[in-house]
Structure 1
Amino acid sequence: MTKSKTKELALTANQLKEQGQRLTDAMTRVAMVKHFSNTLMLAMNSEADRAILLSCLNNFLSQTYDQMDSLYKELDNIAYSLLECDNPEELKAYKERG
């Protein structure tokens, strides 16, 4: 029989719930990008005015790039918090780094 070591979590239940909410928000942003992508694909396949379509596509890609950069940072922060949930010193140092 093996003994399992249990570590005390450095995150409270409320902090874990907050991480879950942050993940939900990130998933909503991903769903938004998928929706806009599908809309542009439909417009492209319906022979819309090319100038208007290219303008919309340019705006979409610019906003998507910014959103994905922000989303990447958010997901990285969440992952770090969850991976280090049992290490209060490391969490504190990470938060202080900004």
Structure 2
Amino acid sequence: MKQETKIYLTAEQLKDFGDTLIEIMNRLEMTNNAIDGLEFAQSNDKVRFDFLAKKFLSTTYEQNQQINKLLNDVSFALLECDNEKELEGLKS
């Protein structure tokens, strides 16, 4: 007989993870749109491209740090969904 595993995440927590993943997808889509704009600027105006590329790189680095933290939090919770002690910090 197979032993059942209890999941310690609530439906609300799972929905929050879904919202977080949608937010990440939207940020990535914005990044892709910005890259498209940079490619256009690169072929039309080198000075404007240089200015926009510098802004893009600094902003994107910060966004990627935030996305990495969000993905780390979600993946940790999903991987530890059957470990009540590890999930204690998520309940607050």
**Structure-1-length-normalised TM-score:** 0.84
1:51: Cα distance to partner? 1.9
Q: 1:34 aligns with which of 22, 25, 32?
A: 32
Task: Tell me how far 1:4 sits from its aligned partner.
Answer: 3.2
Mapped partners of 2:58, 2:16: distance in 1: 29
Q: CA RMSD in A?
A: 1.4
**How many corresponding residue pairs?**
90
Q: Return structure 1 stretches of 4+ with deviation > 6 angstroms.
A: none
Percent identical pairs in the alignment equals 32
Q: State the TM-score, normalizing by the size of structure 2.
A: 0.89
Where structure 1 has 5 or more consecutive residues not aligned to the other structure, the ranges are none
Task: Report whether the alignment pairs 1:56 with 2:43.
Answer: no
| Runs of 5+ consecutive residues of structure 2 not aligned to the other structure | none
**Cα drift, residue 28 of structure 1:** 0.7
Higher relative contact order (CA 8 A, sep 6+): 1
1:90 aligns to what SS in structure 2?
coil
**Which residue is 2:21 aligned to?**
23
Please report how far the alpha carbon of residue 42 of structure 1 lies from its aligned counterpart in structure 2 after TM superposition: 1.5
